[in-house]
Chains A and B, each alone.
Chain A
Amino acid sequence: MKVVDVVCPFCGCLCDDLVVEVCDEKVVKVENGCTLASEKFLGDHRLQSPILREGFGWREIGYEEAISVAADILLAADLPLLYGWSGTHGEAQSVGVHLAEVLGGVIDNTSTVCHGPSILAIQEVGHPGCTLGQVKNRADVVVYWGANAIEAHPRHMSRYTTFTQGFFVKDAHLARTVIVVDTRRTETAEIADEFVQVEAGYDYEILSALRAIVRGREDVISGAVGGVAKTQLIRVAEICKRAKFGAIFFGLGLTMSAGKHKNIRNAIELVEELNRHTKWTISPMRGHWNVYGSNEVFTWISGYPFAVDFSRGIAFYNPGETTSVDILRRGECDACLVVGSDPGAHLPRACAAHLAKIPTIQLDPHVNATTHLATLQIPVAVSGIDAEGTAYRMDGVPIRVQKLVETKFPDDTEVLSAIYRRVREVKGQ
């Protein structure tokens, strides 16, 4: 059976035009998807039942026992950390926030290691953003800054920018000017009309220089900034000012290099300066397929998009203090629940070492690096393949992901709801 208009649950593009062939409750073929999508749909190696660490080995247990053990671990903690959430659907994220509140824990999503700085900058100066549809139909100048779209978001350029026709941009490949700013000549840089190669960590200086040039103060800028010649900076500023509609997309090359949120703030303020001349927007290239959703869900329930600390019964937020990397590095939390992420593979070594010291529970369909640090792992259905739910695309558009095959596994919402009910029962609520 062929299923059309399938949404891909891999990256923040949430491409919704895939055709997936299903046979005997298994995905056997994927059309229209990129390599990453195909791997996600066709990959297997699922953990078959919950496993509990005993001594140096594992014991297979039932779901009922797993839920009871998980609830007991979280209830016994003085500061539980609930981390991940970007690889699951919004309904499960919602239960997660309520669980954190009833436990008095800290809930944080993977923004803490990706676009958290973007959120901090937006909280300082706002977000002149738009949907990807606007970019597709209007943008004649597109900037990729610290983002290698071809390898990290392989269909971004063919669905929304360089290689797709827009309502007002008919001959897209020729009509759109692409500027790539990066520290090295990436695959994306190879197809750029203008490649700006910056010295690593000098993005802030380049952005400041561009802001000064756009407002007519090139007189203060020296001959080269951060490895970029002043003549190139002036040329880039002119291209930007002449655009009918410009769009900046930025990635972790900007959010995670020196200066962090101040880089993003500077980029937003460059857009603000360009908007005195023409129309410009700026958008983050979100990584996990539903990381934007975790920011949305956390915000509509707690008021904060990530790093929310409920330890005193009210929501408190202060990245650098309540972010999971900082909490784990300082060894503050005494239990951890991981959902929809693999911190064992992605967080710094000191954080992984602390996860191994404390009781760590993981909800994940597969064995991964975090499994080796965990006390308990509960396998769940994969959202977008054998579970349905709501996700948010990188531009904030909510899209429903489908259930394509029947499964024996419960989804994240079911497992988390069961833990939540158990916790409330023990607390007498």
Chain B
Amino acid sequence: MRVTLVARPRAKPSLPVEAESIIPQNFLRGTDLTVYEGNKERRLEELFFITVEGPAVSPDQVEVVLMGATGRVKRVGEYMNAGRIVIEGDIGMHCGNFMSGGEIVIKSNADAWLGREMRGGRITCMGSTSHNCGAGYRGEKRGMRGGTIEIFGGAGDFAGEYLAGGEVRIHGSCGDMAGIEMRGGLLVIGGTVTRPCGNMTAGTAVVLGHVNRMLPTFQYQGVNDEVWDGKRLKMDVWEGDVANRGKGRLLVAVGK
């Protein structure tokens, strides 16, 4: 089944829309779903032109395609466990929150908290994402625990905060404090990052580009030969965060 949702023009286009109902499994029961626009509950068809093609008997046979102005639509794919969501443009905050299976493809940019506390599945973002990608909710002790997030552009601050499992790959650069409070998992950053991995206790972070302002509480372990993305690289290996009695590994490409 292929469900196409094309955003209708809205009188107040800046108003946030909360649309956690947009997950493949919900469309098995039809399209009579609701979302919130500001403080008003709306039927899905009030905000989207809906087209449904073909049958499906299980969520993994459902593909949802979002088109049009969806940059303010939040929580798409929240608690998704199977199927596929393709977003042709930008997407709002919390896309893929808590998802445990299936795939989300974002062809442009994603707002903050992409894949927050994700458990499994895969998110691919062809553009960039904002702050707290793969992170935890405020005060939460663990962020993403499983699955894969791949960002072809850059990310904002606190990418992979509280990362506890799974893999976050950012091909571009990150803002401040990527991998802060990491407890496990793998964070790979292709470009530049500032002050990575503060307070990390476990897990591995790899920086293929340059580190601005390496934190003073990482202990240098020497140079290792490592293979990343099929390339053999010499990498400086650091362990920390010593301030937190941490045993995480931070690998930085030599000479970057």
Contact = CB atoms under 8 A, between A and B. Distances in A.
Contacts of B132: 320
A311 B176 contact: no
Contact of B38 (A79, A123, A209): A79
A321 B14 contact: no
A212 B14 contact: no
Interface stretch (A6-14, A169-177, A214-222): A214-222
B243 interface: yes
Contacts, number: 102
Contact of A334 (B38, B177, B198, B242): B38
A222 B213 CA distance: 13
Interface string B200-217: 000000000000010111
A79 B15 contact: yes
Contacts of B139: 120, 123-124
A321 B94 CA distance: 10
B12 A334 contact: yes
A205 B213 contact: yes
Contact of A205 (B36, B39, B176, B216): B216
A46 interface: no
Contact of A79 (B16, B112, B216, B219): B16
Interface string A192-226: 00000000000011001101100101001110010
B51 interface: no
A78 B37 contact: yes
Interface in A236-277: 258-259, 262, 265-266, 269
A105 B93 contact: no
Residue of B16, B36, B93 ringed by the most chain A CB atoms within 10 A:
B16
B241 interface: yes
B36 A208 contact: no
Contacts of A77: 38
Interface string A354-383: 000000000000000000000000000000
Given A258-B176, A334-B12, A318 B39 contact: no
Nearest to A331: B14
A212 B39 contact: no
A381 B146 CA distance: 55
Contacts of A120: 138-139
Interface in A276-330: 310-312, 317-321, 330
Contacts of B29: none
A120 B131 CA distance: 16
A209 B218 CA distance: 10
Interface residues of B, number: 36
B138 A318 contact: yes
B131 to A, nearest CB: 7
A103 interface: yes
Nearest to A270: B243
Given A79-B39, A330-B14, A332-B14, A259 B177 contact: yes
A104 interface: yes
Contact of A208 (B14, B15, B113, B217): B217
B205 to A, nearest CB: 16
A225 B195 CA distance: 13
Interface residues of A, number: 39
B112 A334 contact: no
B92 to A, nearest CB: 10
A204 B15 CA distance: 36
Contacts of B198: 204, 208, 262, 266
A208 B12 contact: no
Contacts of A266: 198-199, 243
A211 B217 CA distance: 9
Contact of B244 (A269, A311, A331): A269
Contacts of A217: 217, 242-243
B79 to A, nearest CB: 16
B172 to A, nearest CB: 20
B90 interface: no
A220 B36 contact: no
A291 to B, nearest CB: 19
Contacts of B180: 262
A332 to B, nearest CB: 5
B208 to A, nearest CB: 23
B59 to A, nearest CB: 25
A78 B93 CA distance: 19
A220 B219 contact: yes
B37 to A, nearest CB: 7
Contacts of B199: 208, 262, 265-266, 269
Contact of A321 (B112, B177, B195): B112
Interface of B: 12, 14-16, 18, 36-40, 72, 93, 112-113, 131-132, 137-139, 176-177, 180, 195, 198-199, 213, 215-219, 241-245
Interface of A: 77-79, 103-105, 120, 123-124, 204-205, 208-209, 211-212, 215, 217, 220-222, 225, 258-259, 262, 265-266, 269, 310-312, 317-321, 330-332, 334
26 contacts: A78-B15, A79-B15, A79-B16, A79-B39, A124-B139, A205-B195, A205-B216, A209-B216, A209-B217, A215-B243, A217-B217, A217-B242, A220-B216, A220-B219, A222-B216, A225-B216, A259-B177, A259-B195, A262-B177, A262-B180, A266-B199, A311-B38, A312-B36, A318-B138, A330-B72, A332-B16
A-B complex: 6 closest residue pairs judged by Cβ atoms? A104-B39, A78-B38, A123-B139, A79-B38, A211-B243, A331-B14
Given A259-B176, A318-B138, 13 more contacts: A77-B38, A78-B15, A78-B40, A79-B38, A79-B39, A120-B138, A208-B216, A209-B216, A259-B195, A269-B199, A311-B39, A320-B112, A334-B15
